[in-house]
Chain A
Amino acid sequence: MTVALAIDQLRKTYGNGFEALKGISLEVQEGDFFALLGPNGAGKSTTLGIVSSLVNKSSGRVSIFGHDLETDIARAKMQLGVVPQEFNFNNFEKVLDIVVTQAGYYGIPRRQGLERAEFYLKKLGLWDKRNVSARMLSGGMKRRLMIARALVHEPRMLILDEPTAGVDIELRRSMWSFLREINSKGTTIILTTHYLEEAESLCRNIAIIDRGEIIQNTSMRSLLQKLNTETFILDLQSDVEQLPALNGYRPRLTAPRTLEVEVDKEQGLNNLFAQLEASGLKVVSMRNKANRLEELFVSLVDKNLNQEPA
């Protein structure tokens, strides 16, 4: 299988001496839907910034579909589309002009650029707004405009940095469906997001970066299998004054009718419900306290935080 993105011993130290990346190495396979997660300031944006040629690296190598970003830069950039976190288009330009101009930067003649712009703007529901100045668009429309702009040269790999930040649920779901569609047609996607539910739902492989180091790089499935404990929130039918004794479980009363219970993976839930029944407690509803990836993410980052820095 072709390697879409190869990062080798990548380091970045900013002018103020801050070491943002401490020699990370990473591979993303062609066709993958890959999540790069990490807390704020962990090094995600620096990594993607270097891959996108927006940040100068200090050392290391990056290649995109085998084209080195230093020695074969034009071919490497041709393979890549970037949707940044911040809006970075000219607010005073028309939507259509923004997309067609970007096509021109990739050497696509205007007529062909117009055809592709029409296709992607229609696909992303922005064709009606093509002659509107970009500043008049809503936040969600601006995000979709950046996706259309990133796709106009039909890259083999798409980087999305927080693509659904500040986007309402309905639009988020429609963007997910669009991203799944282009991924199924072969576009490799690398995603950063703070919505871990989004990463869990979309991505097949994942890397977690913290304090400039990769602390996990595996498939989403094997990572989730590492989750040993889940916390459930149980809504009770009536008030409880005293915490019930639940042998083997770790319960906590957070409100008179709300019980939080930590359950180990091997314990299962049958015994928990049997004990609740025996205590005379009726459960009205139940949900996870956090999504599974979120629990793992927090535990991994916490663990890394407690380690002595090298």
Chain B
Amino acid sequence: MNNQLLWTAFWTILVKEVRRFTRIWVQTLLPPAITMTLYFIIFGNLIGSRIGEMGGFGYMEYIAPGLIMMSVITNSYGNVVSSFFGTKFQRHVEELLVAPVPNWVILAGFVFGGVARGLAVGLIVTLLSLFFTKLHVHHLLITISTVFLTAVVFSLGGFINAIYANSFDDISIVPTFILTPLTYLGGVFYSISLLPGFWQGVSQLNPILYMVNSFRYGILGVSDIHIGIAFTMILIFIGLLTAFSLHLLNTGKGIRS
């Protein structure tokens, strides 16, 4: 296929993905808006006012970037895992397999679909956060590149989960038992400098810590982690997950007998 045909195939998958999550917006765009509003009210307004400052900022201002990232992470992951598993489950993945769409285009289409939902929800949560606090973007390029690359990482994660999943239970296990704990322990609600030395070391094994702190640096200019290390980590994750996803597609794991 020439570049024009490849672009058309990629765009077709992406449009289909965006159409899917906007068609069911009550399940995809509304819940994070409600959940994050509750976080802002309860943790930011009611409890946050008693906590005082963190990292030199009001608590609400400090957690806002973390909450935006949390919604981007869960939604980019959730979009791809449910969409690609549904594609497998209903067998319409066969529409793609019989067509001359290279595996990397299939992967890119689904990943960018996940990124689109992650960014859409991130934007909604950002707009909601402005009702509760003021956000001054400290470094626009770092802010945008972090949120974009993080959405790519978790879309790839969702894709791999969907390939291995054989039931609807399998697509909820990773988000419930791995993603949510890592997100909560990834510095969304606190600075790891509050932790004892040992737990600070353990926290640094959590990849989400790097993403949340990089994004917080972009917005507030403060971070527990060096930004260069954070970006290196994110890019390494993207490289590894992309290679693994393509390997799974090339071998037909879960989609070809």
B-binding residues in A (CB < 8 A): 14, 49, 52-56, 73-75, 77-78, 80, 82, 84, 86-92, 97, 101-102, 104-110, 149, 153
Question: Which of A75, A82, A102, A106 has most B Cβ within 10 Å?
Answer: A106
Contact at A102–B97, with CB atoms within 8 Å? Answer: no
Is B31 on the interface with A (CB-CB < 8 A)?
no
| CB of A169 to closest CB in B, whole Å | 28
Residues on B with C-beta less than 8 A from A74 are 1, 100, 102
Contact at B95–A107, with CB atoms within 8 Å? Answer: no
| CB of A51 to closest CB in B, whole Å | 10
B-side interface size class: 20 to 34
What is the CA–CA distance of A52 and B16 in the complex, to the nearest angstrom?
A: 23
Given contacts A101-B12, A108-B8, contact A56 B98 (CB under 8 A): no
Residues on B with C-beta less than 8 A from A92 are 23
Q: B76-115: contact bitstring with A at CB < 8 Å (1 yes, 0 no)?
A: 0000000000110011101111111110000000000000
16 A-B contacts (beta carbon < 8 Å): A54-B257, A56-B257, A75-B100, A86-B91, A88-B95, A89-B95, A90-B87, A105-B13, A105-B95, A106-B5, A107-B1, A107-B4, A107-B6, A108-B8, A149-B95, A153-B99
What is the CA–CA distance of A87 and B94 in the complex, to the nearest angstrom?
A: 10
Name the contact of B98 in the complex, choosing from A14, A82, A97 (C-beta under 8 A): A82
Q: Is the interface of B mostly helix, strand, loop or mixed?
A: helix
Given contacts A88-B90, A90-B90, A107-B1, contact A54 B98 (CB under 8 A): yes
Contact at A104–B12, with CB atoms within 8 Å? Answer: yes
Contact at B94–A54, with CB atoms within 8 Å? Answer: yes
Which residue on chain B has the smallest CB distance to residue A77?
Answer: B100
Q: Which 7 A-B pairs have the closest CB atoms?
A: A107-B5, A104-B12, A105-B99, A74-B100, A88-B91, A77-B100, A107-B8
Contact at A106–B99, with CB atoms within 8 Å? Answer: yes
Which residue on chain A has the smallest CB distance to residue B106?
Answer: A105
What is the CA–CA distance of A91 and B13 in the complex, to the nearest angstrom?
A: 17
Contact at A53–B98, with CB atoms within 8 Å? Answer: yes
What is the CA–CA distance of A20 and B11 in the complex, to the nearest angstrom?
A: 38
What is the CA–CA distance of A148 and B250 in the complex, to the nearest angstrom?
A: 28
Name the contact of B101 in the complex, choosing from A14, A52, A105 (C-beta under 8 A): A105
Contact at B99–A84, with CB atoms within 8 Å? Answer: no
What is the CA–CA distance of A80 and B97 in the complex, to the nearest angstrom?
A: 12
What is the CA–CA distance of A59 and B94 in the complex, to the nearest angstrom?
A: 22
| CB of A155 to closest CB in B, whole Å | 10
Given contacts A56-B252, A101-B16, A104-B8, contact A88 B99 (CB under 8 A): no
| CB of B242 to closest CB in A, whole Å | 21
Contact at A91–B9, with CB atoms within 8 Å? Answer: no
What is the CA–CA distance of A149 and B99 in the complex, to the nearest angstrom?
A: 11
What is the CA–CA distance of A88 and B86 in the complex, to the nearest angstrom?
A: 11
Given contacts A53-B97, A77-B98, contact A109 B90 (CB under 8 A): no
| CB of B99 to closest CB in A, whole Å | 4
Residues on B with C-beta less than 8 A from A80 are 98
Is B50 on the interface with A (CB-CB < 8 A)?
no
Which residues 5-57 of B have a CB within 8 angstroms of A? 5-6, 8-9, 11-13, 15-16, 19, 23
Residues on A with C-beta less than 8 A from B256 are 53-56
Contact at B98–A52, with CB atoms within 8 Å? Answer: yes
Question: Which of A14, A82, A153 has most B Cβ within 10 Å?
Answer: A82
